[in-house]
Amino acid sequence: MSCQLGPIRLANPVMTASGTSGYTFELSEFVDLDRLGAFVTKSITLEPRMGNPPQRTYETAGGMLNSIGLANVGLEKFCEEKIPLLERMTIPVFVNVAGKTIDEYVAVAQRVAGFSCIAGLELNVSCPNVSQGGITFGIDPQGLKELVAAVRTACPKSFLIVKLTPNVTDITATAKAAIEGGANTLSLVNTFLGMAIDIETRRPILGNRTGGLSGPAIKPMAVYMVNKVYQEAAQPAGVPIIGMGGICSGEDAIEFILAGATAVAVGTETLVQPSCLTNIIEGIRQYLIDHHIAAVKELVGTVEK
Ligand SMILES: Cc1cc2nc3c(=O)[nH]c(=O)nc-3n(C[C@H](O)[C@H](O)[C@H](O)COP(=O)(O)O)c2cc1C
């Protein structure tokens, strides 16, 4: 069941997705976190953020919209209150980093990378870049490459995951840019932009007007993007992929692995049923037994061409 993200060994390929499992042990009442492959924190920014006005989540057919807006306690409080708890985790921990400027990403990344209990950083590049007039970092290959390279230079020894947004015409271009900037692993996908309208009031349901769609509704699009990035960017460069988007079962996880993911992350389904994380691990194990496959890594990217 083990897998390698570069030098980092995971006991199994199942991780939490950022923003859906809190900062540390919030889910421990419902799931034995020690059994997971790795833990990913919610996004941390330099300053504390209140996030967007309510309503911030809305259930849709086969999924949900969220417009949380990166609400978080900010870097100082995270280091003071959450890092001491993360030190107790027995599985690799990745801190998800977000910001509005390259300097903000670098400041958070540098500080967090200094803690020995942190296995690596995941850059959430789906944030508007204030210094470039609000264009999301992750949709502009050149801007993305500069961002990743700046963090790479500031944290030369850190394991760097770059989390790609699906809201682009060609995800291969941003995947290649992240690799050229110095990413060690790519994670995909973040949420798809969406909107829901209350037909009685004729108002958008989310306080922020738009939000990000996640859950089973996005799975086929996410599998497609993982396979495309695997074939055209990640495999040629020897860079592993963490696949996510609507995973609810071991079978769903296997689909992502066949498409090219070395590991998988689970977000929305964790909100429905936190114990799904360990069920997914068992589902993958059962598939390997049923199909007489010795190791999950043998399956990566083996969908027929
Ligand atoms: C409520 C909610 C909050 C999220 N917050 C973050 C976040 O803070 N940072 C981030 O990189 N992704 C965030 N995401 C995106 C997820 O990590 C994941 O990429 C996406 O939801 C697709 O996976 P899923 O369909 O399994 O949820 C959030 C998703 C949800 C549903």
CA-CA-CA-CA torsion sign (41, 69, 267, 14): negative
Give the pLDDT confidence score for residue 131 in this predicted structure: 72
pLDDT for the residue numbered 126: 84
Of 44, 20, 40, 43, nearest to 30 (Cα)? 20
Sign of the alpha-carbon torsion through 126, 128, 129, 135: positive
Is any atom of ligand 1 closer than 6 Å to the C-beta of 42? yes
- Decide if 127 is catalytic: yes
Q: How far is the CA of 101 from the centre of ligand 1 (A)?
A: 21
pLDDT of residue 133: 64
Distance CA 275, CA 260 (A): 25
Which of 78, 223, 268, 269 gets mutated to test ligand 1 (max ligand atoms within 8 A of its CB)? 268
Secondary structure class of 132 (helix, strand, coil): helix
pLDDT, position 189: 97
**Beta carbon of 145 within 6 Å of any ligand 1 atom:** no
pTM above 0.95, yes or no: yes
* Parts of the chain with a pLDDT under 70: 128-130, 133-134
Q: Name the residue of 121, 190, 255 to mutate for ligand 1: max ligand atoms within 8 A of Cβ.
A: 190
Q: Which amino acid is at 91?
A: I
- What are residue 32's phi and psi, to 5 degrees? -80, 100
What is the reported pLDDT for 127? 74
Q: Identify the pLDDT of residue 108.
A: 98
CA proximity to 277, closest of 234, 232, 300, 244: 244
- Alpha-carbon distance 63 to 200, whole Å? 22
